[in-house]
Amino acid sequence: MSDAELLELHGEEWSLVLEKSDRAVPVWRHLGARVEPGNLPRLADLRGPATFSLEGDHAMDALPVGGLGWFGPPALALRDAAVVFDCCEVEKTEACLTLTCRDSLGGIEVRQQFRKLDGGGLEIAVRLTNRGVDSVTLDRCASAVLPLAGNSREIVSWRGRHNAEFVECREVMPEHAWVRETRRGLPGHGGPCGAYVLGEDVGWHSGLAVAMQLAWSGDAKLTIERDDEGFWVAMAEAMLAAGEIVLAPGESFHAPPLLLAISAQGRNGAMAQMHGAVRERIDWPGGAMRPRPVHLNSWEAVYFSHDEARIGELAEAAAAIGIERFVLDDGWFRGRNLDNAGLGDWTPDPAKYPNGLKPLADKVRSLGMQFGLWFEPEMVNSDSELYRAHPDWVLKLECRDQPTARNQLVLDMRLPAVRDYLYTMLDKVCATVDIDYIKWDHNRDHAPGGGAAQVRGTYALLERLRAAHPGLEIESCAGGGGRIDAGIASYTHRFWTSDNIDAVARVPMQRGFLAFMPPEVMGSHVGASPSHATGRAQSLDFRAAIACQGHLGVELDPAAMDEAERSRLAEWIAFWKQWRATIHGGCTVLGEASDGIVWQAQGDGEDFLLWVIRRDHGEDRRAQPIPLPFAGAHDWEVQLLRHAGPRGVLTPRIGPAVAAMRGMAHRFTGSWLAGAGLPVPSIAAESALIYHLKAVS
């Protein structure tokens, strides 16, 4: 018996091993922890025939198709034709393993590429080409169909709604199938199409975790299916509208890439790779991220009631507290006094801005800030010039009433005329006002949907605009966090996490966001108290401490604060500027301590800011030391920078040694911090401690 002929791709923390089999396409041998395969017997020789099975060995192919012995989910579905691969070419470089599988009878070629990413993860990209003589209709082309180990234990995923994004869900591995499918035309408020699959004994810091995220901003499905083979199969796909993908001879369909992270360092290890994978997709003006400028966003400060004078005052108040980018939100364009009119008519409202926006933009810049503007390009109000001129430009079912949401309809981004119109409008504003930034909003679900082509239409518009204005940065927003995904991350530079800025609500939400996206693109603002979304009141310190974890902004009118609060806010902004390089330095580590405390460290490996957060009232008299497993490799100077939260008569007091750490760093050994834990004081509900940890060599 000969040994198996293996095809291997190894990351630092994972291995992908396929075996050339007697059939055309290689079969899976391993996808998981880093291994050295050595010599292995062939899979077919290891597996004796099972009862009630097809003759021959039908192990799982690298690109499994249905019909001839694979009973798990098939990667492809063509209308009216089966796909059977009869040959497969393999190309291997240091970073890529590429399989080109061909069905010569049906004229179908599928190239599947596994690419190692610099950030430690893996990208899987599939391209299907019609090499035949007739057109083919594609009903499904999965981005990946992957084996998940039989000792997988749990799926962590996120769901959400407007104002309640990223609600974490934990479920045991299914006995049949687990499906997360979105049908709203957007990823939705539960974040991107993705999940974490945890093996045995997986926590934040150790154990084998597999994270997936489809780089796609439309309807998508992630399926995790068990069958009687004894392992699970994950399949990720963009949903295609019936009959929308017809490939003429020679044409190709590119499935959106799947980003994959596999780490034995638990959820944090997989999250680090996921951050790396997304960072690789972000295309920064100038080629590299510059320090993130502190925003002021006008929305919750003034909503729709503004004009040149009012916004001028807001800009002055913003500049006075250290704001670096001023974003004029909804309400600036023709006829927009409420949410019932104006979308589509992207020219300044003559009543509010009789001189156009240029004088305002100049004023903002003369105050030392960049100028950003809100648009909702893919939408139209029926009360607008655009709709009156082109009622046929919306997504619709012929001869049926269209459901509106927030009084608006969705433009059909599949139509070149729509994209051209929007490009012309946006380009004109960018050119005449010379804006630095667009907040690109999208405030409703698609009903009816526009399929994958709607998403591709939006991507094409974004791409064209960015090519014409390479210095422009763009924020992806969809009623808060309805469009947060690695697909649109290729065109954008920030996500608006949620319209809910309540800091208590933001703690778990931001941790969910970080499962898929790095902190430098997480829009996090200091809002007013009480919160406009929840009605809850929180101290300015707590609101600011939580907002400091992402890309900081302010969403209130600083002029409406009393002098003490305003200067305190300015102090927080200065604090964030001092530490933003550390906060966005690369590495994010999440953890949970006892009695409801959560912690979060962000830094570059040798310099960290550490947040210790209590949302609710604690039950224990003493806060227990917090083991920090990431801290084992060095000794550390630990300084308490901030104690953000309420100080009442009956709130816990800080001991003198902790108080001393506010003035001077205390040196701890790495093994003490990792094994015994950082001693922390008891804190009241709605409090955060922010420490600086500096590695000592």
Q: What is the binding site for ligand GLA (CB under 6 A)?
A: 299, 329-330, 374, 441, 443, 477, 479-480, 496, 499
Q: How far is the CB of 459 from ligand GLA (least distance, A)?
A: 21
Phi, psi of 302 (to 5 degrees): -135, -10
DSSP type of residue 611: E
Pairing status of strand 220-226 against strand 209-214: unpaired
The two structure tokens encoding residue 135: 């057109």
For ligand GLA, the closer of residues 84 and 338 by Cβ is: 338
Contact 58, 72 (CB under 8 A): no
For ligand GLA, the closer of residues 480 and 645 by Cβ is: 480
Q: How far is the CB of 381 from ligand GLA (least distance, A)?
A: 12
The CA distance from 223 to 233, in Å, is 8
CA dihedral 558, 559, 563, 564 (to 10 degrees): -20
Contact 230, 152 (CB under 8 A): no
Q: How far is the CB of 287 from ligand GLA (least distance, A)?
A: 29
SS3 of 657, please? Answer: helix
For ligand GLA, the closer of residues 557 and 686 by Cβ is: 557
Largest CA distance in the chain: 85
SS3 of 412, please? Answer: coil
Confirm whether 441 is a catalytic residue. yes
Confirm whether 499 is a catalytic residue. yes
The CA distance from 697 to 694, in Å, is 10
- Listed residue (157, 186, 158, 161) closest to 533, CA to CA: 161
Residues linked to residue 209 through DSSP beta bridges, in sequence order: 198, 263
Q: How far is the CB of 478 from ligand GLA (least distance, A)?
A: 7
DSSP labels, 349-360: -TTT-TT-SHHH
Q: How far is the CB of 232 from ligand GLA (least distance, A)?
A: 36
Any idea which residue has 């050595």 for tokens?
A: 38
Q: How far is the CB of 674 from ligand GLA (least distance, A)?
A: 40
Q: How far is the CB of 441 from ligand GLA (least distance, A)?
A: 5
Residues linked to residue 326 through DSSP beta bridges, in sequence order: 296, 371
The CA distance from 578 to 63, in Å, is 50
For ligand GLA, the closer of residues 13 and 441 by Cβ is: 441
Q: How far is the CB of 496 from ligand GLA (least distance, A)?
A: 6
For ligand GLA, the closer of residues 293 and 523 by Cβ is: 523
For ligand GLA, the closer of residues 223 and 443 by Cβ is: 443
For ligand GLA, the closer of residues 111 and 446 by Cβ is: 446
The two structure tokens encoding residue 470: 């390479």
Rounded CA Rg of the chain: 27
Residue nearest to ligand GLA (CB): 330
Instruction: Determine which one of 219, 349, 436, 499 is catalytic.
Output: 499
Pairing status of strand 87-92 against strand 122-130: unpaired
Instruction: Determine which one of 441, 445, 485, 502 is catalytic.
Output: 441
- Listed residue (56, 449, 462) closest to 244, CA to CA: 449
Residues 6 or more apart whose CB falls under 8 angstroms from that of 62 comprise 18, 25, 26, 27, 28, 99, 112
Q: How far is the CB of 492 from ligand GLA (least distance, A)?
A: 14
586: Cα separation from own chain's centroid: 16
Q: What is the 3-state secondary structure (H, E, C) of 171-200?
A: EECCCCEEEEEECCCCCCCCCCCEEEEECC
Which residues participate in catalysis according to the annotation? 441, 499
